[in-house]
Structure 1
Amino acid sequence: MSNNRRSRTARRGDHQTGGGPVWTAEAVRALGAFTDLHTAAQIFGLAMSTAYLLAKRGQFPVPVIRAGTQYRVPVQPIIAALHLEPEPDQPP
């Protein structure tokens, strides 16, 4: 396993619950400014087919940006939708 893959797994957490990794508040915050639709779908517990359908219809739980053939999802709206507290050094 490559170091890159190992670090992504460590960020998400190694606990598996049938449908995929368990996302902690710290892991979500560690994603950076944007993430891909696949990761956002995992965070919200959505199947990929459902995530693409919702994104296409403009009904994904948070705003989705289409960039060419890819979808990008801002992380701040994910944090807000999950009612996570902002990090102490960030404004609310």
Structure 2
Amino acid sequence: MTTAALSPAEVRALPASVTALQAFAAINVGTTFGYHLLAQGEFPIQGTKVGRTWRFRRGDVLAFLGLDEDPGGAEVESAPLAGNDDAPGVEPGAPVEPATPTSK
């Protein structure tokens, strides 16, 4: 079975724990050859066998491909809203429910 190769953006969008098929697609290796490499202990990315499946860390896949987690390479910080010192997602002036004590 042939898997389509993933673009760098698609690799970055993978979950933290990557399946064998996703790892194969990321490095452009076919399924049969990928499993052959795993069986021989020659797959180029270290993985962990969980039951009958293989899992790989996205960071290891990115490192093998020479990609950064963030394509821009810099942290982006949002500018604060003027006059809004409340917690994020809290509407200013919204009614506040008092905490109710719980007993054990």
TM-score w.r.t. length of structure 2: 0.60
Structure with the larger helix share: 1
Residue 69 of structure 1 is matched in structure 2 by 52
Residue 59 of structure 1 is matched in structure 2 by 42
What is the number of residues matched between the two proteins? 71
Residue 66 of structure 2 is matched in structure 1 by 83
Cα distance in 1 for partners of 2:10, 2:38 equals 23
Name structure 2 gaps, 5 residues minimum: 76-104
In structure 1, which of residues 30, 33, 50 is the aligned counterpart of residue 13 of structure 2?
A: 30
SS of the residue 1:71 aligns to: strand
In structure 2, which of residues 19, 29, 35 is the aligned counterpart of residue 46 of structure 1?
A: 29
TM-score w.r.t. length of structure 1: 0.67
Aligned structure 1 segments of 4 or more residues deviating by more than 2 angstroms: 19-22
Cα distance in 2 for partners of 1:57, 1:21 equals 23
| Alignment RMSD | 1.6
Name structure 1 gaps, 5 residues minimum: 1-18
Quote the offset at 1:20 in angstroms: 4.4
Amino acid at match of 1:76: G
Cα distance in 2 for partners of 1:46, 1:66 equals 19
